[in-house]
Amino acid sequence: MALEITPTLAGFGATVAGVDLREPLSRDLTAAIREAWLKYQVLAFPEQPLSLAAFERFAGGMGEFGQDPYFKSMDGHPHVAEVRRDTDETTPIFAETWHSDWSFLATPPSATLLHSRIIPPIGGDTLFANQYAAWQALPDAMKRLLKGKMGIHSARRGYAPGGLYGANDKGRSMAIRYSEDAMATQLHPLVRPHPETGREALFISPGYTIGIEGMPEDEANTLLAELFSYQMQEDFIYRHKWSVDMVLMWDNRCLLHAATGGYDGYARLLHRITIA
């Protein structure tokens, strides 16, 4: 059966049918899925009741497994983490700040995959912001200003002992491991060409970009605040709605994403794999 790809109305993102991810995929089918992923940036595969082994096999076909430096993996599955929120949990929603996964690493991950196991009847959408489109729509003067500048990325706001998920984050069901290592910094260009498509995209986020190399802090903060507000304009956003047994795969190199709440009193559980 051929892939059936239905694009969203947001200008990026697509739903994929005509494939059973419980079965090993041929080389041609794997290549077709990767091609669609590069074209649409976010792919959703509904009605995929996968075992952990099948989820790992599919993810492994998309690339080498990446690292998740601040998550505890599941027992017996070193590349799978739980994105969990229990029924009575009152901690802040995990990953509610816009970000590109692990952009503070020297080589950030290409993709993230989630498989939904428990989905609440309300809320819990995931938002995506297209950074190809954000870059293309910038005025030429701003493009000239940003070209060649390096953003300073760090995990400190989330995963340092004093961060959002640090020592004072009590009662969270998700297995997060905070560390002093999160204080480290890493430089990346503010605008980067995608290594596979060649298209340029903004590569900054409120979650992990804390400054601009060589720019005074107050000046950098002003510029970053302007860019952060610009990045998340409605024209650039796709709101993804979940169903049980859905696999979602997105491209961290050209997208930002953010979780949403709105499901207090309900449990939510997804399995996550990062691709290097």
Do residues 208 and 155 make contact, with C-beta atoms less than 8 angstroms apart? Answer: yes
- What is the mean pLDDT of each successive set of 10 residues along the chain, which is 276 residues long? 92 98 97 98 98 98 96 97 98 97 98 98 98 98 97 98 97 97 98 98 98 98 98 97 98 98 98 98
**What's residue 128's pLDDT?**
98
Residues 6 or more apart from 38 whose CB is under 8 A from it? Answer: 196, 197, 251
Residue 1 is predicted with a pLDDT of 59
167 Cβ neighbours under 8 A, 6+ residues apart: 161, 178
Structure tokens at 28: 């041609």
- Cross-strand partners of 250: 42, 112
Q: According to the model, what pLDDT value does residue 2 have?
A: 83
Judge contact between 219 and 213, C-beta under 8 A.
no
pLDDT of residue 97: 98
Asked if residue 122 lies in contact with residue 266, where contact means CB atoms within 8 angstroms, the answer is yes
Give dist(CA 12, CA 108) in Å, integer.
Answer: 22
Helix (H, G, I), strand (E, B) or coil at 140: helix
∠ CA(184), CA(186), CA(187), 5° rounding?
150
Smallest CA-to-CA distance from 124 within 84, 160, 151 is with 84
Among candidate residues 70, 66, 99, the one with its CA nearest the CA of residue 179:
70
Report the C-alpha gap between 133 and 128 in whole angstroms: 12
Token couple for 84:
């969990």
Alpha helices in 122-216 (DSSP H): 131-137, 140-146, 156-159
Q: State residue 148's pLDDT score.
A: 96
